[in-house]
A and B are shown apart, each in its own frame.
Chain A
Amino acid sequence: MDWFMEFLPRTPERLGIWIGVICTLAIYSLLYRENPFYRFFEHMYIGLAAGYSLGPLGVDVLYRYWVEPIWVQGYWAWAFVVPYGMYLYFIFSERYGWISRIVIGTLIGASAGLFFQEFSSRYLPQLNSTLQKPLWLSSANPDLTVSMVINNFLFVIILLSVLTYFTFSYEQRGGVKRFATLGRWFLMIGLGAIFGNTVMARMGLLIGRIYYILNDWLMIPIGGAQ
């Protein structure tokens, strides 16, 4: 009887747990089939997310990147940014729709420019790191061991074969095709490792939810919990 009285949502804390569990079960119900219970919580979730987005939009974007730089730090040039961005709304006008293309062009240009920066700061250091892989033992690299040499060989072969696989402007035939296929196999081995790793992380999330239902809601002590 005590357990049942404690189980009921009689306090704000218990009510929060009940709501959490109902939401969890509603979303998991999709695993059986689409149903009105799921649909209600799906729409509620999307509605809550839309409302929630307004908070970060106001505080983390508009205030942090627009209001604060202008009014607190004195970067007056930012004043033009939001009116300029609002030109995008002209997309809904048949007559002035062309104005929105200016903003779209700016976004595409900025995105392409950032790609260059990313390339320079992310991929070129990787290229230089690749060069630090000697392929045989010599006095020029006294710290090198046989296992490191084998590792370096594997690294270079995988790099070149995968790079060959991702070339498109010629027909891959004969030896090139076989080398590219080898690259695909290496790629699949790598992807398999990522898959296994992430599935473990997802199982961790599932265990967390099950723990929440059993321990917090049903108050069944599991996993050493009191």
Chain B
Amino acid sequence: MKVDALFEWMATGSRCGWAAYQHAQDNWFAAIMIGLIVTAVLVNIFRARAGKQLYIRRIPGLDAIDEAIGRSTELGRPVTMITGLTAFGVVAVQALTIFKYITKQIARFATPMRLLTGDPTVFAVAQEAISDAYNEAGRPDLYDPDNVRFLSDRQFAFASGVAGLIQRERVAANFMFGEFFAESLIFAETGNMVGAIQIAGTVSFTQVPFFVAACDYTIIGDEFYATSAYLSREPVLLGSLVGQDIAKFLFALTAVTGVIASSIVGTKHPFIKLLGQPGGWSEFVNFLLGGK
């Protein structure tokens, strides 16, 4: 009771803006599932850190990255890397991990590059990441802060800026990784017009069709996370990816068990409600205790 009163105070009475507080609402299935997924991810991160070689299958689009860089070097034209309007967060960090890998590759051949972003925070972090990449490649002299550019945080102003730059500089390779919205096709079509090799990867599912249609290679959905893990070989990313695979297996197992159970006992049975419906846990306990 005292705990409930504390939560109530945190939610409404503290005047400290903690009104966003949420609790499990009796959805113990959600809590258990998240607990299992977190355990799977953490265990695999520790395994990777302990030196265990975790296997990640190669994604077809990855081979094309080196091919595109090679073509840019031959033509002496720049490579563009676009994070889109990705706000700073997990997706932006993964995109920058991929761009760091690409920058290290192009640093070996002194190929010119432009990184374009529509988020000021990503811009600040990208400058540091690209500078690190040149340092790690042993070519700090090639780093020019002007090559990492913040154009605009307004969607179509950013799109017009990117389209203009791609056309003006006749880029030979265009990499687009991050979150994209309606501007995705503008980038991809402009790249196509100048004959650039284009590789795109996004977690924005609704934009994938445009990249599939206009790019040479597309990295879809979760492949985006797999790409950054594969390229960086970071234990945290590798462990997370293997942990996520276990989570997917858990989901598939729950789905198969659930559909078979709902076929036998009906969709309104307390066991089905137990698997993910708020309040399902107490209804299932009541059912077990002989109540309705």
On A, residues with C-beta under 8 Å from B are: 27, 30, 33-34, 38-39, 41-42, 45-46, 48-50, 52-53, 69, 73-78, 88, 91-92, 100, 104, 107-108, 110-112, 115-117, 119-120, 124-125, 127-128, 130-136, 138, 140-141, 152, 156, 159-160, 163-164, 166-172, 187-188, 191-192, 194-195, 198, 202
Q: How many A-B Cβ pairs are below 8 Å? A: 196
Which residues of the partner chain B approach A194 to less than 8 Å between Cβ atoms?
205-206, 208-209
Contact A75-B276, Cβ < 8 Å, known A38-B164, A130-B259: no
New A-B contacts (15) at CB < 8 Å, excluding given A134-B263, A170-B57: A42-B163, A45-B157, A49-B152, A76-B15, A92-B124, A100-B124, A104-B88, A111-B89, A127-B276, A160-B255, A163-B252, A167-B249, A172-B57, A191-B212, A192-B209
In whole Å, how far is B150's beta carbon from the nearest beta carbon of chain A? 10
**How far is B242's CA from A125's CA once the two chains are assembled, in angstroms?**
24
In whole Å, how far is A83's beta carbon from the nearest beta carbon of chain B? 16
Which residues of the partner chain B approach A112 to less than 8 Å between Cβ atoms?
89-90
Tell me if B's interface is mostly helix, strand, loop or mixed. Answer: helix
20 contacts between A and B (CB under 8 A): A30-B163, A39-B168, A46-B161, A49-B153, A49-B154, A100-B124, A104-B121, A108-B90, A108-B93, A111-B90, A125-B276, A127-B251, A152-B259, A163-B248, A166-B222, A167-B249, A168-B226, A169-B241, A170-B55, A192-B209
B209–A135 touching, CB < 8 Å = no
Q: Tell which of B55, B248, B276 has the most Cβ of chain A within 10 Å.
A: B276
A69–B17 touching, CB < 8 Å = yes
**How far is B266's CA from A75's CA once the two chains are assembled, in angstroms?**
49
Whether a CB of chain A sits under 8 angstroms from the CB of B220 is yes
Which residues of the partner chain B approach A49 to less than 8 Å between Cβ atoms?
152-154, 157-158
B57–A168 touching, CB < 8 Å = yes
Interface mask (B85-99 → A, CB under 8 Å = 1, otherwise 0):
000111001000000
In whole Å, how far is B241's beta carbon from the nearest beta carbon of chain A? 6
Contact A131-B276, Cβ < 8 Å, known A108-B89, A171-B55: yes
**How far is B127's CA from A14's CA once the two chains are assembled, in angstroms?**
45
In whole Å, how far is A57's beta carbon from the nearest beta carbon of chain B? 9
Which residues of the partner chain B approach A187 to less than 8 Å between Cβ atoms?
220
Whether a CB of chain A sits under 8 angstroms from the CB of B75 is no
B167–A34 touching, CB < 8 Å = yes
**How far is B225's CA from A9's CA once the two chains are assembled, in angstroms?**
54
In whole Å, how far is B223's beta carbon from the nearest beta carbon of chain A? 7
Whether a CB of chain A sits under 8 angstroms from the CB of B245 is yes
Whether a CB of chain A sits under 8 angstroms from the CB of B54 is yes
Size of the B side of the interface (Cβ < 8 Å), in residues, is 75
Whether a CB of chain A sits under 8 angstroms from the CB of B288 is no
B17–A134 touching, CB < 8 Å = no
B241–A30 touching, CB < 8 Å = no
**How far is B96's CA from A137's CA once the two chains are assembled, in angstroms?**
51
Which residues of the partner chain B approach A52 to less than 8 Å between Cβ atoms?
154
Chain B residues 1 to 43 lying within 8 A of chain A, measured CB to CB, are 15-17, 22, 27, 29-30, 33-34
Contact A141-B89, Cβ < 8 Å, known A49-B154, A169-B242, A194-B206: no
Whether a CB of chain A sits under 8 angstroms from the CB of B142 is no
Contact A131-B258, Cβ < 8 Å, known A76-B15, A141-B266, A166-B222: yes
A42–B220 touching, CB < 8 Å = no
Whether a CB of chain A sits under 8 angstroms from the CB of B261 is yes
B248–A42 touching, CB < 8 Å = no
**How far is B254's CA from A50's CA once the two chains are assembled, in angstroms?**
49
B121–A107 touching, CB < 8 Å = yes
Which residues of the partner chain A approach B205 to less than 8 Å between Cβ atoms?
194
In whole Å, how far is A6's beta carbon from the nearest beta carbon of chain B? 31
B245–A169 touching, CB < 8 Å = yes
